[in-house]
Amino acid sequence: MTGQPGGLEVVRFPVRGMTCGSCVNRIIRTVGRVPGVAKVSVDLRHETATVRREPALVSNAALAAAVAAAGYEADLSAAEVLPPGADRGLLERLLGRS
């Protein structure tokens, strides 16, 4: 059990090769198209991607392939599963949204 709504889990992993906001947007669009991905956020400064996914549908290999298709390198060997709600922004937390 993942503790996320609908059995979703949140995973964060390093992404190499990003240099600007266009890189961030490209990764968000490409990974967001993967079936089973509910939310994607990318932190350029810390060079990480955070993905809320349905683990039965989206493997680490699928995430790595999507990032590679966008032109970047994902290090899923360093991926960490985050506690429930860790990917929610301040506004989502204040409004109690998942």
Predicted confidence (pLDDT) per residue in 13-65, tens digit = 999 999 999 999 999 999 999 999 999 999 999 999 999 999 999 999 999 99
- The model's confidence at residue 91, banded by pLDDT at 50, 70 and 90, is low
What's the whole-model pTM score?
Answer: 0.83
| 12 touches 49 (CB < 8 A) | yes
Sorted by where each starts, the structural domains of the chain and their CATH numbers stand as 5-83 (3.30.70.100)
Nearest to 44 by CA among 5, 10, 16, 76: 16
97 pLDDT tier (thresholds 50, 70, 90): low
Number of H helices, E strands in the chain: 3, 5
